Structure 1
Amino acid sequence: MPDTLERQVAFLLEADKLKEVVRLNQLASGTRREGTAEHCWHVILQTLTFADHAPGGTDIHHVVKLLTVHDLVEIDAGDHWVDESNFSDVKAREKAAAERLFALLPEPQGSEFKKLWLEFEANETAEAKFANAMDALHPMVLVFASGIDDPTHAPISAADLRQTKEARLRPFPRLWDYAQSLLDQAAKAGHLLP
């Protein structure tokens, strides 16, 4: 038991590093960039708030578990705007991070956490699909709430963002409609190319 507890504490101390990872998007206030740990908490709160948008029978507790572990890999891999040019590299870095981080935990807990991470990445279960939709929507809400231009990304168009976000949000029509209205407003305000 002491070894189990020591390994769990070692994992938690390593996970604490997530508080130091700075993401690409702004806080809603526009005063600074969001940290990944802040993102994880806020996307979980968003998920609980929007739980009624999940299909009937979706286990929201399981969705929360997926969202709790999904960005831990950013401790090693960082936060990236993923496109065709870096997709393979980012995914390889994230996979290596998952291997290292979840191996810190005793078994079977390490395997359980890794299984959650893999489920989120595969995006096949009802819970993973809702978790991915929440993760896709969250930065859009923050970025467009700030009302400032985001200098981190190269100029991007509303059409490009629609294409990037559509697969994860379209299965949830009200959320997808809302996301599209955010894009339209951002383009109209000059924060995105049309």
Structure 2
Amino acid sequence: MSRHEQNDLTDLTDFLMEIDALKRVERRSYIGGGGRRENSAEHSWQLALACWSISRRFNLEVSEEKLIKLALVHDLGEIDAGDTFLYARERSNAHQAERRCLARLTAHAGNSIPELADLWEEQETGRSIETRLLKVVDRLLPFLLNVKSEGRTWVELGISRSQVLAAHAFIAEEFPQIHDWMLAQIDNAVERGWLKPE
């Protein structure tokens, strides 16, 4: 193999630009301060760090390496599928396009993480402590951004108290302390007119 062939990183750089596309996926949540909406790459970074932090705060027996890997691959499917809003009707079909995207990225010549699709599948369907924590924090972060932006997304889209309660009900079993905090925030959001009361 020639030195030129050894130094040809075209496949790798092509792959890195494929995953760079996650930065172009705009979410509905506004960043802290409300200046603009966040993108999915930013959310994935915050998700990984938040999961790591919360696992230590609650002294959870997790594999931190696994937890962070699951968080980092969590939204990769949105490169092709786009972000599906939590309260959207078509949300139930989003996983199909995301699964195809992960298969495409895994097969990419520049990808050197053969378990990429398996990691994504695990975070999507798994029941380990790592995947359960990931699902809770994935709901907590946009909720927190809504609280800190005075319910901006909720107000824009006419979201109701019952919708938010239903979307976050599972957290009561997984992390009651977090769920209790969220319930207090929901009551406050209704009082302030950020959420419809029904």
Q: TM-score scaled to structure 2, two decimals?
A: 0.85
Q: In 2, Cα distance between the equivalents of 1:21 and 1:88?
A: 19
Which of 112, 115, 118 is 1:115 aligned to? 118
Percent of residue pairs bearing the same amino acid type: 29
The reply to whether residue 177 of structure 1 matches residue 180 of structure 2 is: yes
Residue 105 of structure 1 deviates from its aligned partner by 5.3
Q: Superposition pairs for residues 155-174 of structure 1, below 5 Å?
A: 155-168=158-171, 170-174=173-177
Aligned alpha-carbon RMSD (Å): 2.6
Answer with 1 or 2: which has the greater Rg: 2
Deviations 1:78-109 (A, max 9, x none): 11124583134322211221221222156872
Gaps of 5+ in 1: none
**Structure-1 residue corresponding to 2:41:** 37
Task: Give secondary structure in 2 for the equivalent of 1:109.
Answer: coil
Residues 82 and 90 in structure 1, CA contact (< 8 A), matched pair in contact too: no
The reply to whether residue 187 of structure 1 matches residue 193 of structure 2 is: no
Could you tell me which amino acid in structure 1 is paired with residue 103 of structure 2?
A: E
Q: In 2, Cα distance between the equivalents of 1:123 and 1:168?
A: 16
Alignment CA distance shift 1:183-1:107 (3 Å): same
Q: In 2, Cα distance between the equivalents of 1:84 and 1:168?
A: 20
Q: In 1, Cα distance between the equivalents of 2:155 and 2:41?
A: 19
Residues 136 and 165 in structure 1, CA contact (< 8 A), matched pair in contact too: yes
Task: Give secondary structure in 2 for the equivalent of 1:23.
Answer: strand
Which moved further from structure 2: 97-106 or 74-83?
Answer: 97-106
Residues 70 and 117 in structure 1, CA contact (< 8 A), matched pair in contact too: yes
Q: In 2, Cα distance between the equivalents of 1:27 and 1:75?
A: 20
Alignment CA distance shift 1:29-1:66 (3 Å): same
Q: TM-score scaled to structure 1, two decimals?
A: 0.86
Task: Give secondary structure in 1 for the equivalent of 2:152.
Answer: coil
Which structure has more RCO (C-alpha within 8 Å, separation ≥ 6)?
Answer: 1
Residue 54 of structure 1 deviates from its aligned partner by 5.0
